[in-house]
Amino acid sequence: MSKKEHRTTPWPSREMPPGIPYIIGNEAAERFSFYGMRTILTIFMVKYLWLMGDRAGIPMTDAEASEKFHMFAGFVYLTPFLGAMLADFFFGKYRVIIWLSLVYCLGHAALAMMGFVGKSEVWLSLGLWLIIFGSGGIKPCVSAHVGDQFGAQNQHLLSKIFNWFYFSINLGAFVSSLLTPWLLEWYGPHWAFGIPGVLMLIATIFFWAGRHKFVHIPAKGRGVFKDLGSKEGLLALGKLCILYFFIAIFWALYDQTGSSWVIQAEDMNRELFGINWLSSQIQAINPILILTFIPLFTLVLYPLVDRFFTLTPLRKISIGLYVMVIAFGLVAVAQEKIDAGLRPSILWQIFAYIVITSSEIMVSIVGLEFSYKHAPRSLKSFVMALFFGAVFFGNILTARVNHFIQVEAPAVVDWETATATEKRFAGFDGKEGTLDDIVAYRDAELDFAGKAELQGLVEKLSAAIEANGYASLDATTGGELTAQVMDPWGNPYRYSLVNGRQSRITSTGPDQTYMTEWDQGVVVKINVPEAETEPGAIGKVLAKLHPAEPWIESRKRELGIQTKAEMTETGPTVTTSYFVGGQTKLEGASYFWFFTKLMLGAAILFMFVAMVYKPKAYLYEDGEDSLSS
How many angstroms separate the CA atoms of 9 and 623, rounded?
Answer: 5
| Whether pLDDT at 422 is above 80 | yes
Residue 426 falls inside a structural domain: yes
Final residue before a domain boundary, out of 580, 600, 621: 580
Same domain (yes/no): 515, 537: yes
Q: What is the pLDDT of residues 510-533, one digit of tens each?
A: 999 998 999 999 999 888 776 666
pLDDT for residue 92: 78
Question: CA angle, corner 429, sides to 428 and 432, nearest 5?
Answer: 100
Same domain (yes/no): 527, 392: no
Q: What is the pLDDT of residues 17-34, one digit of tens each?
A: 667 777 777 777 788 888
pLDDT (mean) for 205-212: 78
Burial degree of 33 (CB within 10 A; 0-12, 13-18, 19+): buried
| Whether pLDDT at 114 is above 50 | yes
Same domain (yes/no): 428, 533: yes
For helices 20-43 and 189-209, the axis angle rounded to 10 degrees is 170
Same domain (yes/no): 376, 507: no
Same domain (yes/no): 160, 206: yes
Percent of the chain whose predicted confidence (pLDDT) is above 70 = 84
Q: What is the pLDDT of residues 175-186, one digit of tens each?
A: 899 999 999 999
Distance of CA 493 to the CA centre of its chain: 36
Closest among 135, 136, 158 to 147, alpha carbons compared: 158
pTM: 0.85
In sequence order, what are the residues at sequence separation of 6 or more whose Cβ sits closer than 8 angstroms to the Cβ of residue 220? 88, 89, 227, 378, 625
Residue 620 falls inside a structural domain: no
pLDDT (mean) for 182-193: 93
Residue 625 falls inside a structural domain: no
Report in angstroms the alpha-carbon separations of 502 from 149, 467, 522, 523, 628.
Answer: 56, 16, 11, 7, 62
| Whether pLDDT at 627 is above 60 | no
pLDDT for residue 600: 98
The CATH number assigned to the domain holding 368 equals 1.20.1250.20
pLDDT for residue 628: 42
Residue of 271 and 29 predicted with greater confidence: 271
For residue 3, what pLDDT band results from cuts at 50, 70 and 90? very low
pLDDT for residue 594: 97
Lowest pLDDT segment from 11-20, 382-391, 394-403, 416-425: 11-20
Q: How many domains does the chain have?
A: 2
Residue 601 falls inside a structural domain: yes
Q: In what order do the strands lie in the sheet with 494-499?
A: 494-499, 502-507, 520-527, 573-580
For residue 548, what pLDDT band results from cuts at 50, 70 and 90? confident
| Whether pLDDT at 589 is above 80 | yes
Same domain (yes/no): 574, 600: no
Q: In what order do the strands lie in the sheet with 438-441?
A: 422-425, 438-441, 446-447
Same domain (yes/no): 402, 429: no
| Whether pLDDT at 1 is above 50 | no
Residue of 105 and 418 predicted with greater confidence: 105
Residue 617 falls inside a structural domain: no
Instruction: Select, from the ranges 7-16, 220-229, 393-402, the one with the highest average predicted confidence (pLDDT).
Output: 393-402
Q: What is the pLDDT of residues 333-386, one digit of tens each?
A: 999 998 887 889 999 999 999 999 999 999 998 888 888 777 777 677 678 778
How many angstroms separate the CA atoms of 175 and 514, rounded?
Answer: 46
Closest among 366, 289, 351 to 320, alpha carbons compared: 366
How many angstroms separate the CA atoms of 198 and 114, rounded?
Answer: 16
For residue 250, what pLDDT band results from cuts at 50, 70 and 90? very high
Same domain (yes/no): 528, 598: no
Same domain (yes/no): 542, 604: no
Q: What is the pLDDT of residues 144-165, one digit of tens each?
A: 677 676 666 666 666 667 767 7
| Whether pLDDT at 73 is above 90 | yes
pLDDT (mean) for 416-445: 85
For residue 629, what pLDDT band results from cuts at 50, 70 and 90? very low
Residue 444 falls inside a structural domain: yes
Same domain (yes/no): 373, 473: no
Report in angstroms the alpha-carbon separations of 483 from 457, 468, 506, 566.
Answer: 10, 19, 10, 35
pLDDT for residue 605: 96
How many angstroms separate the CA atoms of 194 and 24, rounded?
Answer: 23
Domain that holds residue 607: 3-406+589-612
pLDDT for residue 543: 66
Residue 282 falls inside a structural domain: yes
For residue 2, what pLDDT band results from cuts at 50, 70 and 90? very low
Same domain (yes/no): 9, 125: yes
Tally the C-alpha atoms within 13 A of residue 22's C-alpha that lie toward its C-beta.
Answer: 19
How many angstroms separate the CA atoms of 166 and 298, rounded?
Answer: 13
Residue of 598 and 540 predicted with greater confidence: 598
| Whether pLDDT at 542 is above 70 | no
How many angstroms separate the CA atoms of 200 and 195, rounded?
Answer: 9
| Whether pLDDT at 490 is above 70 | yes
Same domain (yes/no): 389, 430: no
Residue 31 falls inside a structural domain: yes
